[in-house]
Every structure is written in C-alpha cells, then in structure tokens.
C-alpha cells in the first residue's frame, strides 16, 4: 500500500480512581492522518489542519511523526513517510489528543507496510506520547485497541474490559487548555495510605461492575480523592459543574484525563442529554464557554478509513469543538500559561 488514511478516536483517561491505568475510547471525535511512503528515509509532516492551535508542526515534536518514526524503527524499515495530520482534537483538552495523533502515526505506518500489528503500534505510540506528556498508557491503549482498557504498570500487560451495554458518557469541554505535562507536575509524590487503599478498592469495584454489566455499580465507584482534588482548580467551576451534572441525574462525574474536559456517566440517553445541557449551563455560570455532548464507547480503536471520510457526517464533532475554541481564544491563551 502506497497511501493510507487512518482515524484514531478520542479517549477519556483515569475515569476517577483509575489514574494512569484505566481509559476508554469514545465515538465521534478523533484525529485523522493520511500517510504515504517516500524513498527519503525521513518522516515529514507535510500539513497539519483542523484544530491546529498550539499543535507542533516540527516533526521532532509532533506525536504523529514521532510515533511514525518509532514504528518504522520497530519494523526495521529504511523508507520514510510523509504525513498529513487532521486534528479533530484540540491540544490540552483532556480527550487524549496527543495520544490520538501518536496512535494514528504508528498505525498508518503498520498499515503502509502490511504489518497490521496493534501491539507494535501501541509500543511505538507509547514512546511518542511519553516524549511529550510523560509515561502513561491510559489514552494510548484504548485509542489503539478500542473499548475500555485497564493497563498494568508494565503497559505490555493490558486487559480489555467489557463495556456495560447501557453506559453513556457525557463530555463537557470548556474553552481552556490544560497541558498534561503541567497537570502532572502538580501531583503529590506521596499520598495517604487510606486514600490509596480507597482508590484501589474503587478501581477493583469498577472492574467487577464492568464484568457484571452494571452501569450503576460502575459509576458508584467513580470517586477519586487523590488526583481530582489537586487538579480541580485548573478548571474554573469544576465543583459547580459536577454538582449540576449529579443534580441532573448523572451517576458519576470527574475530570477526563488531565482536564479541562469533564465526563459524567449515565445509563439512559435522555438523562444523559439533560446532564449535557446542565454541564454546559454550569460552565456558562462561570463565564466559560463550553461544548457538551453525549457519546458512547468506541469499540474499534484506530482504523483505516476511506480518503473521503473527512467529509462525512461522523466527523462533525470537530466543527462543534472549533466553535467553542474559535470563540474564546483569549481564555485559551490564558489557559496556555498555566
Ligand atoms: N493519566 C493521565 C493524567 C492522562 O491524568 O495525567 C492524561 O491524559
């Protein structure tokens, strides 16, 4: 294959007590990447389009090209690749944007050379993600394999968990940026034993509930007293938005990845829509423009898509995000300075 286009979905990492170990891929949003083989032996980034604000165009800093390079090395190929990246996920959104680009870069290379090996793509993408936002696999794993994925401290040990049929995720994304690297620097090095044990028990409960297919028990365990309280101040109105989501019927609510996106859990479509409206309004009460939408779990992870795919309705998500990010540039820039 000389040319391929792939799509890598957005992800929600941590899911409360699963910091750095649990993540889920979500439908409707993600990054697309068109890649072609070149004889040069180099990885070039010919264009970056879509939600480009703050996205590095230097191939040594962009996770798509870094992962493509790592995949070429792992495959032992001497050729190069030229990449056209279409960002559907803004930088610093908490929706796994850098991971999506990395996974797309790695998977495109695997497909170009007829080696559709997701384990290899996972390793290459992890390497690229670690270079820009620290070592954590809870975005890269679900983005690669799809569904909900639990990753061990050795990321080569990962496990796909069953997704309860009625699970609905509501995402609210304010027009701010939180840079993951910064949001990791503020975390405590030591935590009280009681908090650590409570989080471990909750994570175990979530896994058990996933196997039983119970959204209610799964959501009831989404409480995090280690990371959420430390990062809450990075998101204006976080506790207010959470309170309004719960009042509107959400079963749980916490920060998506490093934020500023906030996710809520519901087991009913209508309630989920109501929660989305409440979260958007709650952000507005803090003078913060936000988009909120209901989504489901993407079970496929990264995949090849047709070259015309960008024009289809399924890629409407980025237009929605562009609205909010286009309108509130000043806040975004303030967020950048975190
Ligand atoms: N687990 C990571 C963190 C996810 O919370 O820092 C970042 O998207």
Proportion of the chain above pLDDT 90, given as a percent: 83
Catalytic residue among 129, 144, 228, 295: 129
Give start and end residues of each alpha helix (H) in 76-158. 97-112, 118-133, 140-145
Catalytic (active site) residue 63: no
Ligand 1 binding pocket includes 263 (Cβ within 6 Å): no
Candidates 3.30.360.10, 3.30.110.40, 3.30.2090.10, 3.30.70.890; CATH matching 168-297+323-337: 3.30.70.890
Q: Is 139 in the pocket of ligand 1 (CB under 6 A)?
A: yes
Mean pLDDT score of the chain, rounded to an integer? 91
What is the rounded distance in angstroms from the CA atom of residue 2 to the CA atom of residue 112?
Answer: 6
Ligand 1 pocket, residue 257 CB under 6 Å:
yes
What pLDDT does residue 328 have?
A: 40
**Residue 13 Cα to ligand 1 middle (Å):** 6
Question: Residue 208 pLDDT > 70, yes or no?
Answer: yes
CATH entry, 3-161+299-314, from 3.40.50.300, 3.40.1360.10, 2.60.40.1180, 3.30.230.10: 3.30.230.10
Angstrom distance (rounded) from CA 284 to CA 185: 28
pLDDT band at 152 (very low <50, low <70, confident <90, very high): very high
Check whether 336 has a pLDDT greater than 50. no
Give yes or no for residue 331 having a pLDDT over 60.
no
Helix axes of 97-112 and 118-133: crossing angle, nearest 10 degrees: 140
Q: What share of the chain is helix, strand, coil (3-state, %, to 5)?
A: 40, 25, 35
User: What is the number of the ligand 1 atom nearest to the C-alpha of 96?
Assistant: 8
12 beta partners: 24
Say what the pLDDT of residue 338 is: 18
Instruction: Write down the pLDDT at residue 329.
Output: 39
pLDDT on residue 133: 80
* pLDDT range class, residue 321, cuts 50, 70, 90: low
pLDDT score of 318: 53
180 lines ligand 1 (CB under 6 A): yes
Q: Domain coordinates of the chain in residue numbers?
A: 3-161+299-314, 168-297+323-337
What are the C-alpha distances in Å from 201 to residues 67, 77, 222, 227, 330?
35, 45, 11, 16, 42
Is pLDDT at 71 greater than 60 in this prediction?
yes
Provide the pLDDT confidence category of residue 320 given band limits of 50, 70 and 90. low
Provide the pLDDT for residue 310. 59
pLDDT of 319 strictly over 60? no
Each residue's pLDDT tens digit, 285-306 = 999 999 999 999 999 999 999 7
- Rounded CA-CA distance 27/143 in Å is 11
166 vs 169: CA distance, rounded Å: 10
280 lines ligand 1 (CB under 6 A): no
Ligand 1 centroid–CA 197 distance in Å is 20
The pLDDT of residue 312 is 46
Q: Where residue 165 falls among pLDDT bands split at 50, 70, 90? A: very high
pLDDT of residue 141: 97
- pLDDT at residue 1 is higher than 90: no
- What pLDDT is stored for residue 309 in this prediction? 59
Q: Distance, CA 259 to ligand 1 centroid (Å)?
A: 8
Residue 144 annotated as catalytic = no
Q: What's the per-residue H, E or C state across 286-306?
A: CCCCEEEEEECECCCCCEECC
Categorize the per-residue pLDDT at 135 as very low, low, confident or very high, splitting at 50, 70 and 90. confident
């Amino acid at each position: 294959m000389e040319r391929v286009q792939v799509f890598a979905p957005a992800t929600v990492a941590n899911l409360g007590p699963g910091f750095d170990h649990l993540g889920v891929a979500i439908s409707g949003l993600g990054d697309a990447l068109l890649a072609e083989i070149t004889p040069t032996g180099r990885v070039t980034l010919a264009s970056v389009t879509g939600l480009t604000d703050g996205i590095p165009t230097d191939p040594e800093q962009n996770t798509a090209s870094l992962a493509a390079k790592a995949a070429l090395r792992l495959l032992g190929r001497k050729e190069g690749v030229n990449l056209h990246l279409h960002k559907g996920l803004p930088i610093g959104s908490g929706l796994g944007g850098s991971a999506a680009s990395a996974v797309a870069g790695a998977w495109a290379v695997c497909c170009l050379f007829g080696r559709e090996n997701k384990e290899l793509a996972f390793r290459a993408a992890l390497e690229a993600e670690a270079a820009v936002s620290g070592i954590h696999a809870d975005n890269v794993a679900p983005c690669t394999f799809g569904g909900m994925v639990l990753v061990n401290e050795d990321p080569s040990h990962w496990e796909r968990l069953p997704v309860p049929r009625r699970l609905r995720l509501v995402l609210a994304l304010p027009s701010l940026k939180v840079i993951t690297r910064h949001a990791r620097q503020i975390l405590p090095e030591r935590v009280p034993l009681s908090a650590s044990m409570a989080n471990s028990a909750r994570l175990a409960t979530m896994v058990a509930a996933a196997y039983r297919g119970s959204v209610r028990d799964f959501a009831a365990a989404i409480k995090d007293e280690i990371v959420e309280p430390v990062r809450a101040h990075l998101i204006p109105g976080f506790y207010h938005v959470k309170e309004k989501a719960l009042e509107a019927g959400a079963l749980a609510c916490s920060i998506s990845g490093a934020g500023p996106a906030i996710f809520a859990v519901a087991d009913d479509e209508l309630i989920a829509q109501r929660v989305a409206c409440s979260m958007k309004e709650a952000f507005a009460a803090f003078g913060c423009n936000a988009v909120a939408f209901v989504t489901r779990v993407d079970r496929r992870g990264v995949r090849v898509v047709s070259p015309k795919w960008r024009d289809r309705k399924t890629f409407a998500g980025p237009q929605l995000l562009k609205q909010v990010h286009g309108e509130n540039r000043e806040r975004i820039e303030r967020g950048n300075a975190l």
